[in-house]
Structure 1
């Protein structure tokens, strides 16, 4: 069921004013701070119902940060955007709206439209791309799909929030031209083309002023120049002040019920520090949002016949969406390979083949009904033609013990019993879970504070194992006839407590079936430990790691014995996560050594080798020329293994195009640093990030050629371009599929200005599906906003750029034609 929701009208505005007149100052201010962690306050006297918000980069998690209901896990944002398809983005928005309506969620906190400035950014996996036009157009389509069903979108994070290091205090120093032409452009495009109903202000400062207090950005540009009538909320715990943030364009402080507004804001109004008209504007924006999502006045009926997360319709959608965005980086003809009786023998090698990374960390995490690994997916299409060999360790932090190593103490089913404890020892909650993980103190709804967690299970492993826990607290652990006690502490902020908890592991002997009971309690809250009331804990149980030489030997033997060796390498939620940036784009652990060993063994035996890169963001590939094909598979969601199988066998063409330029080495990029100096992070490269700087250079000179350009992707066909003609109003080209398979091409047009200091930029693209041997006429209409330039002296948009070239390309590493402008 779809409900079309129109923009607010003048009559609606009058209605909001009338409702406003019925509220006193205290009642108005009460609506401007959340009622709970993910809920906005209501007011029964004016018919305003509470509104539920939910994180939503890769699924609508709901109102619990951890341990919530089972929901659909979608492919990550960079994988979805690799389709370069507004139709795909619109479909994802529509599906997320369905997921939201099932849970009575009014606003999905997405999409993330910050740019991939530095490839070290930990949160890049949930943002679309390094390009503002691609990002803005995809975001607009996503918003359209979401809001067509009456569920609000929330563009985030406004603005210059491209890294995670010191994210609550870093000052992003960005000149006005760069801010206007690059980092604000995705927001401008999405607001102009889709009218998102809310925005989220970032954690960081911008040019010395907090994003939650940005008079210039929030009031002068967004609400002023752009005429935005929606609501601007804070990121969670981002608001630091009372009057400055209220005057700086922030409309809503999240979460609640506590925060810097409330009684302090009432007092600021009465002291003359904040005009009551400012409060009125904030409240009207809250009412407008509520009206749009059906929470003001007569409640809107929600559909009841929507697909469940494990339904056949969701399985088809998720498999198709993930496979279509996967990107063939290199291929000598090894791919695709046949399925069924004609399939080659395939050796799947690598830890990530068995434990595939299907989502990133932080607010993007959800609780899916199942997760399909690559081993499971390939096994379903190859049967006994597939062998599976574990690889090297890919993590530095241990993960929660799961159903593969634990059995419920009473039922014997795979899984664990999790108990939430009060300070007096009372059990507040008991649940059976598939993973030994639990959180307290963040979004609890118990009558008394939760202060600890107990995990009870039986071991499915025997022999020497690694046993321990993660999470800051006081641990006692009993396993079989052994007792362990230890205390873990965290020196980081709430992000580190929740997303990078400390760990301790001990080697011990267990028998299969031994009872394991682990209890962890928060340390007593005091002035020295203000975060002692929040904890994320997990029990860890895993086999002792195998020596590297033995792992590499087994992998090489498997490669020699099969027709095709498929090695899976990549990243995990340790690197692809909120709150933490990377220090390198090299693969963690000994994964490069694994690929070298497999490639050498396959080559010596006359076999083929394929590498799957299970990562959302760029990695270094020192073995690139040693293997026969490389496919970037992103973080493909709960149907990931089935999607990989469909892509490798050609059941669904992996027709993706890169959304981030892959540097050839650490540091070999126009913008690299994510660690602030004296609290400031200078965006000194200006607008020349990513492909722009690689192609045109930066203020500091030329930049090394990348390993792979934005827009690169081979698919399973070859293409010729001819009859290229046009100008800045439209570019026309005939493309011919010279391959043997039907395929999809993405025709890209870039503008290279003649003016020094103005980098190349993507100005448009068009995708087309063409049968093998056939041709198609393609038209690309460049976006006029990419010819603008900001005149800093005049503090206004100046004369547009005029001279230069239009480049018709399959990524800037494969330019097919040039047109003079």
Structure 2
């Protein structure tokens, strides 16, 4: 241990105190030994250090910071250099705000389009997500502070996220849900990892020895700190044994006592605690050095704003350009319609909300452009309410224009942390507006703002479609730079866009509603499913248009990598994203038809040709063998494919690879859905064959009393009348607030109350309610109201007395 001498000077109580927060965002300090506290702040796409009372839901305003495009947006740039530059800017701002640990990036897989937090994640592909995440981490940590890759692992739904059990087979876990973390941790060398809220195959992730010790520590060699998601600790001692150093936020010393008692009673060795303390001290001392060198750093607001604009420009995806309606020529008469033009949707909602240093506005930027902007109409009400008057005014304006810029998308109450979306549709009032405008003026360029895939049955009614995703504080100008041709779009989708939600592979098993969610589709998420099962999609993974064209030729494959040439065959400079896919041509072990194993973004002048080299690495040919319990390579011929998307393969060659001669882990006859790739309707018996065990019971046992890990929602089944009344009151309040248009407040009830487990009352209240008091609440919930109330009041008095004695 690096700090053994210092640790030997600590009391057992001091060691335990370092394992949980001092308050909502800071760790504990030990002043007598010169150990300072450090500050952790949200920040996947901008620093969210709150100036007032702290919370984890984005309620209270934070100190102004640059709001960069979200992860889902920057993912479309496919540019790791850009990711590292954004990370450097984030790190610089974190240092300026005295933040030691920046809680990001988030790299969970986009298993299903309806996950409410998809805007904060990169991709449906683990290789792609891992590479860009690693670049962010390198940039952030170049300033001496720590990034914090999250949420580890298999956290792919928001509903009941604090208690849901993710049921997934080992191979799928390794290849799909852990590979991005592996790349980010090994290549990015992150100093901090955040465990997720959910259970994984029956155990909470931060208590899961297989995940936290066998994989993270032993296999990947990670020696940094693991921090819980806020309120994500269940059994503190079990978490510590698994190697989860830091619990956040504070529990006012309650769980510190649990650790002390566990050591004294021999449940945990003090040496285990010492190792955890040593790792935390390394994080503290290594990240505070930058503040010693630069005690009063600031950052250049305008320079950072320009970087945010560049990031948005590189990430915008041109999805449709019928009749070359774009770029708009000078002098053309343009009408702007849609609430998102005036009030931009530029970031997500929840713990990642950034208070921007400045915010570009579409209407202001339009007046500076060489086009004839004839006016703006709101067109629709933001949260879905129909308004005939707005629609009529919009149509009147559209009739006077050569081209209509129609700004549509999803509002911030639809895509939010803690909630999953109900459908892939955009609001009906926006579609009514589109239909009405189309009847009057068919020259429509839709500008789309949302953080995840949506259905587009309306796409034939627009000639141009520019997808800005959630493009940050400079997104408005970036989008118009693409529309006018000042910037040639180069973004490509990092997720597939199916025609309908029912086409998606996980739709039958998303979200898990009660105890568990079953990942029956296995490896076959996103393009891995669509391409293998021959399911047509609206836009494939990796798709995006340009104002120029590119030709591919001269592919050469060696054992080390693939070389080919790209030529810009158009009239304007542009960037092309070449994608390397690999196909194992053996039928012995089921695999997707193709898997992304490399990519390169190439900038070319008109008629310029460049040679591109994409190397193979340790992940190019591997698969995880559940019989040998390790990564293996199958002896086979492999198709090496270079494409502009997963569907558009331009070059292909075959290479023979000598494998590791591992035994075949499956009985092909018992896994027909997985061998065919048609894994969207897998029966339970086949999933259990893949899983290697029976699936756990998915539904609540309504006859049992409610406990710590049951949710407030389950009070509808409680024996206590007061608990049932409270549930109905909460449900009524949610419906009423939605009906009167207070959707943000209604969402807050679902996030912070409805799906909260009872233990969260103790874990998230900073010591106001402790676990003994919670026992009293549970007695009341389970039908012993007066007994429970007496217990609650007794424990409250005891806690207050103890606090006074401590003071």
> SS at 2:439's partner residue?
helix
2:311 to 321, 346, 366: 321
Moved more, 38-47 or 757-766: 38-47
Q: Is the contact between residue 197 and residue 204 of structure 2 (CA under 8 Å) also seen in structure 1?
A: yes
**Counterpart for residue 159 of structure 1:** 153
1:391 to 358, 379, 397: 379
Q: Is the contact between residue 76 and residue 493 of structure 2 (CA under 8 Å) also seen in structure 1?
A: yes
- Deviation by residue 1:270-314 (Cα, 9 ceiling, x = unmatched): 11111111111110110111122026xx96222645324xx3212
| CA distance in 1 between partners of 2:474 and 2:128 (Å) | 26
Q: Is the contact between residue 379 and residue 386 of structure 1 (CA under 8 Å) also seen in structure 2?
A: no
Question: Is 2:758 the counterpart of 1:758?
Answer: no
| CA distance in 2 between partners of 1:259 and 1:24 (Å) | 15
Deviation (angstroms), 1:259: 6.6
TM-score w.r.t. the length of structure 2 is 0.77
| CA distance in 2 between partners of 1:133 and 1:299 (Å) | 34
Q: 1:194-209, aligned counterparts within 5 Å?
A: 194-209=188-203
Deviation (angstroms), 1:177: 0.6
Q: Is the contact between residue 173 and residue 683 of structure 1 (CA under 8 Å) also seen in structure 2?
A: yes
- Deviation by residue 1:193-243 (Cα, 9 ceiling, x = unmatched): 121000000000000000121111001110111111100010000101132
Q: 1:615-654, aligned counterparts within 5 Å?
A: 615-654=450-489
**Counterpart for residue 23 of structure 1:** 10
| CA distance in 2 between partners of 1:624 and 1:236 (Å) | 41
**Counterpart for residue 787 of structure 1:** 621
Question: Is 2:597 the counterpart of 1:736?
Answer: no
Name the one with the larger helix percent: 2
1:79 to 61, 73, 80: 73
**Counterpart for residue 477 of structure 1:** none
| CA distance in 2 between partners of 1:564 and 1:334 (Å) | 12
**Counterpart for residue 656 of structure 1:** 491
| CA distance in 2 between partners of 1:358 and 1:259 (Å) | 39
Q: 1:48-87, aligned counterparts within 5 Å?
A: 48-63=35-50, 64-65=54-55, 66-87=60-81
Question: Is 2:386 the counterpart of 1:553?
Answer: no
**Counterpart for residue 574 of structure 1:** 413
**Counterpart for residue 288 of structure 1:** 282
Deviation (angstroms), 1:367: 1.5
| CA distance in 1 between partners of 2:539 and 2:562 (Å) | 25
**Counterpart for residue 38 of structure 1:** 25
**Counterpart for residue 230 of structure 2:** 236
**Counterpart for residue 693 of structure 1:** 529
| CA distance in 1 between partners of 2:35 and 2:76 (Å) | 40
Relative to structure 1, the CA distance from residue 260 to residue 380 in structure 2 (aligned partners, 3 Å threshold; closer, same or farther) is farther
| CA distance in 2 between partners of 1:191 and 1:801 (Å) | 29
> SS at 1:20's partner residue?
helix
Question: Is 2:292 the counterpart of 1:300?
Answer: yes
2:334 to 321, 333, 346: 346
RMSD of equivalent CA atoms: 1.8
Aligned residues: 644
Moved more, 245-254 or 83-92: 245-254
| CA distance in 1 between partners of 2:464 and 2:648 (Å) | 18
Q: Is the contact between residue 575 and residue 603 of structure 2 (CA under 8 Å) also seen in structure 1?
A: yes
Q: 1:478-627, aligned counterparts within 5 Å?
A: 547-548=387-388, 550-603=389-442, 608-627=443-462
2:354 to 339, 345, 366: 366
- Deviation by residue 1:511-557 (Cα, 9 ceiling, x = unmatched): xxxxxxxxxxxxxxxxxxxxxxxxxxxxxxxxxx7733x33333233
Name the one with the larger strand percent: 1
> SS at 2:186's partner residue?
helix
- Deviation by residue 1:109-145 (Cα, 9 ceiling, x = unmatched): 0000111110111111011111111111111111111
| CA distance in 2 between partners of 1:147 and 1:580 (Å) | 31
| CA distance in 2 between partners of 1:820 and 1:593 (Å) | 50
Q: Is the contact between residue 71 and residue 369 of structure 1 (CA under 8 Å) also seen in structure 2?
A: yes
Question: Is 2:670 the counterpart of 1:680?
Answer: no
**Counterpart for residue 276 of structure 1:** 270
Deviation (angstroms), 1:348: 0.9
Deviation (angstroms), 1:146: 0.7
> SS at 2:292's partner residue?
coil
Relative to structure 1, the CA distance from residue 678 to residue 785 in structure 2 (aligned partners, 3 Å threshold; closer, same or farther) is same
> SS at 2:122's partner residue?
coil
Moved more, 553-562 or 298-307: 298-307
- Deviation by residue 1:708-756 (Cα, 9 ceiling, x = unmatched): 1111011221111111221452222211111111000011111122234
Relative to structure 1, the CA distance from residue 728 to residue 750 in structure 2 (aligned partners, 3 Å threshold; closer, same or farther) is farther
Q: 1:407-446, aligned counterparts within 5 Å?
A: none
Deviation (angstroms), 1:767: 1.1
Q: Is the contact between residue 378 and residue 386 of structure 1 (CA under 8 Å) also seen in structure 2?
A: no
| CA distance in 2 between partners of 1:259 and 1:582 (Å) | 37
| CA distance in 2 between partners of 1:773 and 1:303 (Å) | 51
Deviation (angstroms), 1:707: 0.8
1:253 to 225, 238, 247: 247
> SS at 2:578's partner residue?
strand
**Counterpart for residue 668 of structure 1:** 503
Relative to structure 1, the CA distance from residue 148 to residue 380 in structure 2 (aligned partners, 3 Å threshold; closer, same or farther) is same
- Deviation by residue 1:653-710 (Cα, 9 ceiling, x = unmatched): 221110111111122112234321541111111111101110013xxxx5x2111111
Question: Is 2:350 the counterpart of 1:357?
Answer: no
> SS at 2:490's partner residue?
coil
Deviation (angstroms), 1:382: 4.9
**Counterpart for residue 215 of structure 1:** 209
| CA distance in 2 between partners of 1:576 and 1:727 (Å) | 45
| CA distance in 1 between partners of 2:328 and 2:629 (Å) | 60
| CA distance in 1 between partners of 2:202 and 2:572 (Å) | 55
| CA distance in 2 between partners of 1:216 and 1:31 (Å) | 25
Q: Is the contact between residue 749 and residue 782 of structure 1 (CA under 8 Å) also seen in structure 2?
A: no
**Counterpart for residue 366 of structure 2:** 378
| CA distance in 2 between partners of 1:254 and 1:149 (Å) | 24
**Counterpart for residue 753 of structure 2:** none
**Counterpart for residue 792 of structure 2:** none
- Give the 4+ runs in structure 1 shifted more than 6 A: none
| CA distance in 2 between partners of 1:235 and 1:554 (Å) | 47
| CA distance in 1 between partners of 2:390 and 2:597 (Å) | 48
Q: Is the contact between residue 332 and residue 372 of structure 2 (CA under 8 Å) also seen in structure 1?
A: no
